[in-house]
Amino acid sequence: MTIDAGESEPAAEPPQAVQENQPRRLDDLPAPVRQQVIDWAAAALGAATPSEIPAALSRIAKFAPGKRARLGRAAIGQAVDADPAFHALVAAYATRAAAAAGSTEPDSTAADSTDDSTAAEQSVADPITAAARGFLLRSPDQAALLAAAGEIDEAARNRGRIADLERQIQLLTSRLERTAAGPVNRRAGGQRPDPDTTTQSAADVDRLRLRLRSQGTQIRELREQLATQATQAADQLAAATAELDRARADAESWRLKAEAADARAETAVAGVQRIREAKSDRRATADRRLELLLSAIEGAASGLRREWDLVGGGPAPADVVAAGLPRVAADAERTTDPARLTAWAGMPGAHLIVDGYNVTKTGFGDLSLSDQRDRLVRMLSSLAARTSAEVTVVFDGAAVAAVRPPARGIRVLFSPPGVLADDVIRDLVRAEPAGRTVIVVSSDREVVDRAAADGARTAASTVLLAAVGS
């Protein structure tokens, strides 16, 4: 069977470069790097605890290690891409595996016994492993490592193609030799050569020679391409190694700077603590001296009191002056706010005293006196029902012959002949015990001042009318 070089598997395109620190999906990695990550993930499943295994991989974790990597390849790849916890678990396992592999020395006798292809595979194992670790750890140089791994993968593919082409050349060479030896064998056997067969053999020989030359040309081109790619991969690997060394040197420099800064900070904290302690000691000494001085002054003052036989307990001079002044109601005991007046009336045990005609003439003086009294009493009945206050309304009774208006819960008083309603209101206020809430409603300045002087709270007639909604 003739194997045509044109039918061999085309070389895979090298992976495209990525920006540093940019995450990649597992499917974007070169095949050897992807396989290495899958193998590590399968091994990490066997070493993980049940709580660390993703739910999607719980069934695959029960397989044998080789079966996990073979049958659970797709699920493992999805978990590495989509599950950050599992990605970190695989990265930790890869770090431990790489550290364990780096601690073991290779056997020289085994290295001598391997052929060239095995040595080539071993030579690319470290870049593939480094690229896989760079992908898992998101290292800054992962782009360079993945590019180098892609070049190595391409070189391995090219070596495979060269081996295939060399086998084809050997096969074609043997066929050419057999074809060329056919007429000679027939002449040696005394047979007369067939012209058609001879022509066909010559055509086959020419065709085989053309194919051999074509295969040789392809082999030379592939070898040149392999050498170029090997050189580029070595350069990229060297550049990545140098960049990694520079990053490590920078990290070490920053670590030393951080340690120096920590040492300076600790020194500063210790200095501040010493200053605080010294300041505290000085403060304690000064406080003690001041305490001794105050004790001496207190002793001297006590001695003067005993010597002069001072007797205390009398009123303060300001209290003597204040007692001689006329009583004036405080601003807080007068209000122009209907809501505050209602609140006063709602206080426990409150007594509301109303200057009757002063309120009615302020609010509805166009009515007759009888209608004025009836309307005021009805409004005060409503207020008394809302607040439960004791309500007394006082009308002037001089020269008035009127029937007392009906009232529920309200005390209606008429001043006796010759007595003003203002005097009755003053007597009502003075009759109340000290401490009871007494409220006088009037717009008469004299009535208000007298009530305030006797300790009552006061409000104008307009405030009461607003409170009862008139």
Q: What is the per-residue pLDDT for 404?
A: 62
What digits encode the pLDDT tens for the residues 388-446?
Answer: 999 999 998 754 555 566 667 789 999 988 889 999 999 999 999 988 999 999 999 99
Name the percent of the chain lying above pLDDT 70: 80
Single-letter code of the amino acid located at 349? G
What is the per-residue pLDDT for 103? 54
The pLDDT of residue 110 is 40
pTM of the model: 0.34
Q: Where are the domains of the chain?
A: 8-103+113-251, 335-468
DSSP 209-253: HHHHHHHHHHHHHHHHHHHHHHHHHHHHHHHHHHHHHHHHHHHHH
Question: Encoding tokens for residue 247?
Answer: 């990053």
- For the beta sheet containing 410-414, the strands, ordered from the edge strand earlier in sequence to the opposite edge, are 334-335, 457-459, 438-441, 351-355, 390-395, 410-414
Q: Sorting pLDDT into bands at 50, 70 and 90, what band is 188?
A: low
Query: What tokens were used for 126?
Result: 């470290």
pLDDT score of 69 more than 80? no
Q: What are residue 240's phi and psi, to 5 degrees?
A: -65, -40
- The pair of three-digit structure tokens given for residue 384, joined into one six-digit string: 């008394």
The maximal CA–CA distance of the chain, rounded, in angstroms, is: 181
- Residue 27's pLDDT is 74
Phi, psi (degrees; rounded to nearest 5) at 395: -115, 150
| Rounded Cα–Cα distance for residues 460 and 446 (Å) | 12
Mean pLDDT of 167-172: 78
Query: Residue 328 pLDDT more than 70?
Result: no
Q: Which residue has the higher pLDDT, 173 or 226?
A: 226
Cβ 407 vs Cβ 399: under 8 Å: no
For residue range 102-123, what is the model confidence (pLDDT) as tens digits? Answer: 655 444 434 443 444 443 444 4
In 10 A of CB 448, how many CB atoms?
20
Task: Tell me which range, 36-45, 163-172, 325-334, is most confidently predicted by mean pLDDT.
Answer: 36-45
**In the prediction, which pLDDT does 423 show?**
93
pLDDT at 223 over 60: yes
Q: How far apart are CA 351 and CA 337, in angstroms?
A: 18
CATH code of the region 335-468: 3.40.50.1010
Instruction: Provide the residue type at 4 as one letter.
Output: D
Residue 193, helix vs strand vs coil = coil
Please provide residue 376's backbone torsions phi and psi, each rounded to the nearest 5 degrees.
Answer: -65, -40
pLDDT score for 436: 92
Q: State residue 113's pLDDT score.
A: 37
Three-class SS of residue 393?
strand
- Mean pLDDT of the chain, nearest integer: 79
Which of 62-66, 310-314, 362-366 has the highest average model confidence (pLDDT)? Answer: 362-366
